[in-house]
Copies of this chain bind each other. A is one copy, B any other.
Amino acid sequence: MTEMRGRAAQGQRTREAILKTAVDVASTEGLEGLTIGRLAAELEMSKSGLFAHFGSKEELQLATIGAAREIFVDEVVRPAFENDAGLPRLWALLDSWLQYAEAGIFKGGCFFAAASAEFDGRPGPVRDLVASTMREWLGALERGVAEAQTAGHVEATADAAQIAFELNSITMGANWAFQLYRDRDVFDRARTAMAARLAAVATPAARRILPDSGAAKGR
């Protein structure tokens, strides 16, 4: 029993190590670049050893997206939830996103922006998983705005879905510019844009939750 459990645990560790490398390969070379052969070479494993963990390229792609989602939740979402619901939590979510993008948690920039661009025109389970994972993120932003409305931090008349669309657009624009031009100033631009967008709908007392720059800069 103990030996079997030991083997299962080792199998799990191997699987995790494979997925860690797979996430890095996919973030720079795309999910299509994630062939069993390419990954076996990178990990110095046999192809058949890899096949024991993932029966097909598609299964490997789906598991890699799941692993990237876990990393994103650990790096961006979970830390934000240590803050009070409302504008503090929403701002923390945006701030951790900016830190995640600037720190280069994924070698090729935001994993999900890249995966979206790669798979948006290719129907199938990979595209569906990318789309549903991104819906979770958009949902988290929209819920963040709605909670800020409930907490009295954001005007009740504000359109939470519209604001979530705009905040997500700013993350897309910042990730795009940083990946293409390696110019770190885009994170200041993005922070300024996010703070100004929220300052425009924040109740007067709640504006102090946002960084100072927000209301003044870029206007």
Contacts and interface: CB of A to CB of B under 8 A. Distances in A.
Interface of A: 28-30, 107-109, 113-114, 116-118, 120-121, 127, 130-131, 134, 155, 157-159, 161-163, 165-166, 168-170, 172-174, 176-177, 179-181, 186, 189-190, 192-193, 200-201, 217-219
Given A159-B218, A172-B176, 9 more contacts: A120-B179, A130-B180, A134-B180, A158-B219, A159-B217, A163-B218, A169-B176, A172-B172, A201-B219
How many subunits of this chain does the assembly comprise? Answer: 2
A131 B181 CA distance: 7
B193 A116 contact: no
A170 B165 CA distance: 9
Contact of A131 (B30, B159, B180): B180
A38 to B, nearest CB: 14
